[in-house]
């Protein structure tokens, strides 16, 4: 069973930085595309960023230039570095794994971690 566990969420001021981490089952990063979704209260879930097994990335327009997704296959970890955060970045962030793309999510989800951007 593939298990994903997010961490690193919390309260951060506008303009600040935060790094989210996702730990997965051993070897999962060698076969799965990984991604980060977010869902703000009352809004639809949206893809924030993804990274393939070969390191190809894709970002939502709203976070380009501010967020960076990366992965460490040796450690089975994926990260989302969030810089220059804005109040509209407030959401629950979910790690996602599988055959995901900009068009659909993968089959596996983490439990989510709350990110709140507020002064």
Predicted confidence at residue 71, as pLDDT, reads 94
Q: Please state, for a pLDDT cut of 70, what percent of the chain lies above it.
A: 100
Chain segment 66-79, per-residue pLDDT in tens: 999 999 988 999 99
Closest to 39 in 3D by CA, of 99, 97, 111, 102: 111
Closest to 96 in 3D by CA, of 88, 86, 87, 106: 106
The mean pLDDT of 81-105, rounded to a whole number, is 96
The mean pLDDT of 15-40, rounded to a whole number, is 92
Q: What distance, in Å, lies between the first and last C-alpha atoms of the chain? A: 40
């Amino acid at each position: 069973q593939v298990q994903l566990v997010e961490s690193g969420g919390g309260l951060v001021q506008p303009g600040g930085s935060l790094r989210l981490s996702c730990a997965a089952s051993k070897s999962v990063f060698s076969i799965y595309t990984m991604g980060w979704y977010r869902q703000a209260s009352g809004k639809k879930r949206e893809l924030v960023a993804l990274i393939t097994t070969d390191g190809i990335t894709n970002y939502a327009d709203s976070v380009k230039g501010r967020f960076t997704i990366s992965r460490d296959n040796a450690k089975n970890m994926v990260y989302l570095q969030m810089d220059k955060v804005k109040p509209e970045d407030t959401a629950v962030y979910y790690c996602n794994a599988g055959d995901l793309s900009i068009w659909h999510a993968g089959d596996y989800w983490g439990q989510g971690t709350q990110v709140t951007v507020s002064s």
